[in-house]
A = this chain, B = another copy of it.
């Protein structure tokens, strides 16, 4: 792949993690938000299965390993300052543990007039 860089250029936060935005390949639907440590990113890049770091459980988490709702990785991109990654996936089944297609199913009230 052209212009690809090594993940050593990622800027990890103070906990050794980077935020990961997960998007459905093709439609662009944002499915979920999670965190990766260097091992999770390495596995995501080298196995084809999206892998995260669970902050609550303090361990790696291969998406779908218990639910079967795997995410097959299509691409991973780093942002301009290296402190966030965008993961495009083919999602098997619902992305959300609630059974919803995406975790972002709760709208907040927004102002609908001309911008102030």
Contacts and interface: CB of A to CB of B under 8 A. Distances in A.
Interface string A69-100: 01011111111111111100000000011101
Interface string A13-32: 00000010101000111101
Q: Is the interface of A mostly helix, strand, loop or mixed?
A: loop
A60 interface: no
Contacts of A73: 110-111, 115
Contact of A106 (B3, B48, B96, B112): B3
Interface of A: 1, 3-7, 19, 21, 23, 27-30, 32-33, 44-49, 70, 72-86, 96-98, 100, 103-116
Given A21-B21, A79-B103, 19 more contacts: A5-B106, A6-B108, A7-B108, A30-B30, A30-B86, A33-B83, A45-B111, A48-B113, A48-B114, A49-B116, A70-B115, A74-B110, A75-B107, A76-B110, A78-B106, A79-B104, A80-B96, A82-B106, A84-B103
